[in-house]
Structure 1
Amino acid sequence: MTRRRRSWLTGIVLAVVAAVWVYPFVWLVSASLKSSSEVFGKGLDLVPADLRWENYARAWTDVGFASYMINTVVITLGTVFLVIVRSALAGYVLGRHDFAGKKALIGIFLLTFFIPEGYTIIPITQLTDQLHLLNTHVGVILGLGAGGHVAATLLYAGYFRKLPKELEECAELDGAGPITIFFRVMLPLAWPITATVFILTFLFAWNVYLLPLVFTLSDPDLRTLAVGMTVFVGEQSTDWSGLAAAAVISLVPAVAVFAVLQRRFVDSIAGAVKQ
């Protein structure tokens, strides 16, 4: 087989895989423009009989997704900021300093990586309640961002460990203290890891369901987009078209952020590997 034929065959296979991969999202957009009875009545047909844009209006205004969007943006950005600062600081200590029990601490970190979220929701809720932060944005941000985040911490630790010590020594000769060295020298150099942690944490905080659900049970006005979609599920029936419209509204910002930052995400992975 010639190289040109292999190229064509590879392209065809990748196109088929891409079509299968994208189809569920296209079906979701199609369902958001149909009536509830039409969603499953037409099976795999993607063309709505009538474009029902009112499904989006119902989700945005009547159900309250406008306020859910604001809640989600505030919580997501707060969580991303907290995770980046915490993980970078912890990774800097683990990567640049030797101390007694360091290997044991890293081992504990790795063990917590495998603990399911459901096992930690009770102590997190109790601690947040004792701090009188339950049913607040700050409480949700602390609940999401103050956990282990082992992967982000170890990514920073591995990156900082490979940076030359001369960088810190030169900064110290210029009179910089530890805090100045970290925030003005080391952290800017770790932009590949920061970009990766930003994207991964953004997607996690934007789509997380369990913790915001528990933290906003008594205050529906604080719901996030993921939790707010449960409004369309009733005891006797489900508003499938409204649910699909709400899902599209929830997905669009996350897809847009990834589309804008995907090049930087790839570059960050490549930069981290080169280091």
Structure 2
Amino acid sequence: MNYKDYYETLGVEKKAPQADIKKKFRKLAIKFHPDKNPDDASAEAKFKEVNEAYEVLGDPEKRKKYDELGSNWKQYENFQNAGGRQQGGRQRTYQYSGDYGDYFGSSDGGGFSDFFNSFFAGGGYQGTGSAFGGRSRQPARPANSQATLPLNFQEAFSGVGKVVELDGKKIRLNIKPGVKNGQKLKVTGKGRNGGDLIITLQVPSPTGYELSGLNLTKKVDIDLYTAVLGGKAEVDTLHGKINMPVAKGTQSGKKLRLKGKGMPDYDKQGSFGDLVIEVQIKVPENLSEKEVDLFKELEKIRS
């Protein structure tokens, strides 16, 4: 089994900052991606090598442990091959202070090299004592991963498909209509080592609306004549434009409820809250002399 120099694979210095490692990984992953190199076995192999290197160097803690392993990897392999058995009445051990119980990866090896699987994916020594410091080698435990995903309000209202990336792996999400700010979505088995991915959604407040549960409230200007005589007013809603009936003598501040024109119910698809329209009477400006005379005449009639 050959030692894997992950720094050389990514073409970075051993002291390179994490940002440079991530940048170089993305560049190489794009260059050798199978979609860009169909039927190219060498490109596919290089793509796998780049991904394996980033699995270790892309995480500061795992990178630290890899650096600690260093030149001791051969002793560890020798111990593993010896099966940890006693030789000459004494147990063959190699003292090392590092903790190799929780490297990276799934315990099945994930298609990586023998080197990776031996040290980082559950393929290490399984005896009562470790080759490096006396600790038992345990498979990596499943762990939940956390992520945030911003949506605009229309996406939250209508539902949307999104792609998120975790450790270089793309995960497709189908978000149903009606999600709220701060709502958490769980994607089973897509976290670290087979754990879950918990995504917290970030949804801004709707412009021009007040949100209360599933109900929306919106202020709408209605001209004086429609308010006095009755008729219909065109209103923009999240469901599209509607012609809202307005009764004669509607007062400013009156609230009109439009059933089923509010937010979708996330838990009961096809069900919606209501839209409450708060009427604001718009008084006409820049009246002509004739209009002023007519209003005066109306005032006399009313009095």
* Higher RCO (CA 8 Å, separation ≥ 6 residues): 1
Larger helix percent: 1
TM-score normalized by the length of structure 2: 0.25
TM-score normalized by the length of structure 1: 0.27
Decide which structure has the larger Cα Rg and report it: 2
